[in-house]
Structure 1
Amino acid sequence: MNALFLVVVFLYWSALYLYVPTLPLYLQTKTSDLALIGTALSMYGLWQLIVRLPLGILADWAGRRKPFAIFWLLLVAAGALTLGHAPTIEIAILGRALVGVSAGTWVPLVVLFSNRFSAAEVVRATGILAMTATTGRIVATAINGWLNQLGGYPLAFNLAAASALLGAALLLFLPEAPTPPRKPSLNGLKRLISRREVMLPSLLQVLTHTADFAATFTFIPILARQKGASDVVISMLLSLNLLIGLAGNSLAAVLAQRFGQRRMVMLSFALLGGGILGAAWAPTLAWVFVFQFWVGLGFGIGYPLLMGLSINRVDAAERTTAMGLHQSVYSLGMFLGPWLSGVLAAALNIPLMFVIIGLLIVLMGIGGAAILDGQG
C-alpha cells in the first residue's frame, strides 16, 4: 500500500508541474508586464498560505485526511484547466490562484504517509516523500517542451488535469486508520507557534522557497529564453534542477547524520544564494545550467531536513496541524519569490534582481541556520 500511495504522490506533483517550465513564457503571451507576470505566479504561494493551515486544523478535527486529499486533487484538475484555457491575464491569475488553493492537498498527503512511521522515522518518511515528489516533478517538467511542440501550451494543462483525476481515483483504494478527532484549539495552535523547534525551520523554509520560486519557477526560464533557449531546452533546464534536487533529497539524511543537520542546512543556503548570484552574471546559457545545478542541490538538501525538523518533536495527534502550519508559513516564500522578483525586475532589471535576492538568501539563511536546534 505504501507503493500505491507513492504513485498518488507522483501523480499529484506531476499534475502541478507538467506545464510549469514554460508557464512564465505562457503568461508572456497574455501580458508583457513583468510585475504582472510575477503577481500571477505569486498566487500559487499566496493561496497556499491562506489554505494550508486551516486545512490541517480541519483534518485533525475530523480525524481523517483522505477525504480532504481526494477533494483537493479534484481542485488540482480544475485549476489546471482554468489556467491553461485562460483568455486573459486576469483569468490566468484566477486559474493560478485556484491551483494554489488545490495545492493544499500536500498537507493531508504528508500526514497520511508519515503516520505510517514512528516519530523517530519521520525525517526518513519525509525524505521518501520528497524524493517521490521530486521524481514526479522531474518527469513532468522533462516532457513539457515536447508537449508544447506536439499540441501547443494547452496540451500540458489538459494532461495535468487528467493526472490529478487519476490520483484522486487511486486514493479511493488506500485505507486510512482514523486518529481520534481533535477539536480546533487556538491554544494548541498558539503552543505550536510558540515552539521554537517548530517555527524556526518553518521560517527558514520561507527563504528556501523565496529563492526557488524567484529563480527556478519565474525568471530563470525568462533568462534562458533571452539566451536563446527553446521550450525543450527550458524543460531540460528545470528537469536538471529537479534531478539534482532529487539527489539532494536522497543525500540529505545521510549527510546530516555525518556532518550535522545545522551544517547541512547552512550549506543548502550557501548553494541556493550562490546559484542565484551566479545567474545574475551568467554570460551564456551553459552558465545558466551550472547555476541552476547549485540552486537545485541547495533546495534538495535543505527542504526535507527543515520539513522533518519542524515536526519530529510534535505528537502524532497534532502533526497535521503542525505540518499545515509549516507549509502555510513556507508558502509565504512561494508568494514572495515571484512577487518580489517581479517588482524588482520591473523596477530595475533581471540581473540586479538576482543580486538582491541572492544576497538576501545567503545572509538571512546562513544566519538563521546557525541558531537551529539540531545536531551539528
Structure 2
Amino acid sequence: MAKFQDKQTSLILGIVVCFWFAQYVYIPYQTTYLLLVNISSNLVGAIIGAYGISQLILRLPVGILADLSSNHKLFILLGSFFAGIASLFRILLPDHIGFFVGNILSGTASATWISFMILYMSFFTKAEQTSATSKIIMANNFGMLLGFITSTLLYDAVGMKVICAFGLGAGLIGFILSFFLQATKPANPPKLHIMDLLSVVKDRNLLLFSGLALVQQGVQMSTTMSFTNQIIQELGGTNSVLGFSSIIYMLSAVLFAKLASTKFLELLTKKQWISSSFLLLGLYCLLVPQSQSVAIVCLLQLIPGIGTGILFSLLTSEAVSSVPTKKNSTAMGFFQAVYAIGMTIFPMISGSIYEQLSMTMAFLFLAGTCFIALLVSLGFSTKEAKRKNKRYVS
C-alpha cells in the first residue's frame, strides 16, 4: 500500500510540474509580445484579465462538481488537456484572438487545480496536511520556475511561437501521465446536495484564511508579476534581467515551500509564520519603489518567495482544516475563487493609483493591505486563544 501511495503521489507531483510549466512558460514575455504586435494596452489588459476572470467564475462550480462526482482524475485530465490546448490557440492565432481564447482556456485549466490538491492531500493524514500542501505547492512553483527559466534563456532566440510550443508539449505530457492515476470515483459515493456543500462558506477558518490569501495573491500579482518588473525596466533592466528577477523569486518560492514541508516549519508557530510573512511582504512593498538599483530589487525578490512558499502553504492548509472531507473540493473551490478576486482587482487598483498618483503610492497601498492582513491574523489568533482558554476553564 505504501509503495502504491508513493507512486501515486510522485505521479501527481510530476503532472503538477508539467501543468504549471504549460501555464506559465509564456507569461514573462506575454505583455511585451502583445504590445510588439500592435495590440493596444487596453486590449492587452483585457486579454490578461481573461485568465483571472475565468478562474473567478469557474473555481467554485468546479469544486462543487468535484465533490458531487468524487472523480478528481477526470478533472485533472481535463485541466492538463486545456493547459496544453490553450497554447495551441496562441500558436495558430498569434494575435489578440488567439491569446484571448488561450487565456480563457488557461483560466479554465487553473480552475481544475482544486482536484490536483484534493487528490494529492487525500493520501495523507490530517496531521500531515500542512506538509503535503507545502510539497504540492513546491511542485507548482517548480513548474513555474522551469517555465520562467526556459523563456528567459530562449525567448530572444526562438520567439513566442516556439515558447508556446513548449507549453503545448508540457500540457499534453501531463494529460498522458494523468491516465495512470488511480480512478477516484468511489463505488458508493455519499449523497450530497449543492446547498449542503455551499454551507462550508460559513466556516470561520475558511472565511478568514481565504481573505488573507486574497491579500497575499493580490500583492504577488501586483508586484512580482507586474509593477516590480516595470520598476526594473525604469532602472535600466533588460529583458534578460526581468527574466532573472522572476527566476530569483521562483527559486525562493520553491526553496521555502520545500522548507515548509520539513521540521523547519516548527521553528515558529503557524500564527508566527503567518504574521511575520505579512510583515515581510509589507516591508517589501515599502522598499521596492524606493530602491535605486536593479541588483537591490532583484535581491528583494527573495521576500515574496517566502510569501508564496510558506505563507500560501499555511493559508491553504488552514483554510480547509475544519471542513469535512466530503466537502473539501467545494471549500477549496471557494478558497481559490476568493483569492482569484485578489489576483484580478489588486493589479487594477494598483494600476489606477499609479496612473492617478505615483508608483510609490501604488506600492504604499499594497503595503497597507499587508499590514491590515497582519493585524487581522493577530486579532483572530488572540480571539481563538481566548475561546480555547474559556473552554478549558469551563
TM-score, normalised to structure 2, is 0.88
The equivalent position to 1:354 in structure 2, one of 360, 363, 366, is 363
Aligned to 1:153: 160
1:275 CA drift (Å): 1.3
What are the ranges of 5 or more consecutive residues in structure 1 without an aligned counterpart? none
**Structure of larger gyration radius:** 2
Measure, in 1, the Cα distance between the counterparts of 2:258 and 2:221: 22
Matched, 1:312 2:314: no
Deviations 1:106-155 (A, max 9, x none): 11111111111122221111111011111111121112122212211222
1:83 CA drift (Å): 4.2
Aligned to 2:4: none
Aligned to 1:293: 302
Aligned to 2:219: 211
Count of equivalent residues: 375
The equivalent position to 2:65 in structure 1, one of 58, 66, 72, is 58
Matched, 1:105 2:135: no
Measure, in 1, the Cα distance between the counterparts of 2:101 and 2:356: 25
The one-letter code sitting in structure 2 at the alignment partner of 1:166 is: I
Alpha carbons 2:76, 2:115 under 8 Å: kept: yes
1:38 CA drift (Å): 4.2
Alpha carbons 2:58, 2:108 under 8 Å: kept: yes
- Summarize the alignment of residues 1-376 of structure 1 with structure 2, pairs less than 5 Å apart: 1=7, 2-30=9-37, 37-83=44-90, 88-89=95-96, 92-179=99-186, 180-182=188-190, 185-252=193-260, 254-362=263-371, 364-372=372-380
1:230 CA drift (Å): 2.6
TM-score, normalised to structure 1, is 0.92
The one-letter code sitting in structure 1 at the alignment partner of 2:202 is: S
Per chain length, whose mean CA-contact separation is higher, i.e. which structure has more relative contact order (CA < 8 Å, sep 6+)?
A: 1
Q: Against the structure 1 CA distance between its residues 31 and 257, is the aligned structure 2 distance closer, same or farther, given a 3 Å change threshold?
A: farther
Deviations 1:179-220 (A, max 9, x none): 453555343234211110111111100000000000111222
Alpha carbons 1:66, 1:176 under 8 Å: kept: yes
What are the ranges of 5 or more consecutive residues in structure 2 without an aligned counterpart? 1-6, 387-394
Deviations 1:15-41 (A, max 9, x none): 111112222322332568666544433
Q: Which moved more, 1:135-144 or 1:8-17?
A: 135-144
SS at match of 1:21: helix
What is the Cα-based RMSD across aligned positions, in Å?
2.3
The one-letter code sitting in structure 2 at the alignment partner of 1:79 is: A
Q: Which moved more, 1:364-373 or 1:195-204?
A: 364-373
1:352 CA drift (Å): 2.8
Deviations 1:52-94 (A, max 9, x none): 1111111111121111111121111222233466554465344
| Identity across the alignment (%) | 25
Measure, in 2, the Cα distance between the counterparts of 1:238 and 1:342: 20
Measure, in 2, the Cα distance between the counterparts of 1:260 and 1:86: 50
Measure, in 2, the Cα distance between the counterparts of 1:147 and 1:95: 21
SS at match of 1:143: helix
Alpha carbons 1:48, 1:104 under 8 Å: kept: yes
Alpha carbons 1:45, 1:333 under 8 Å: kept: no
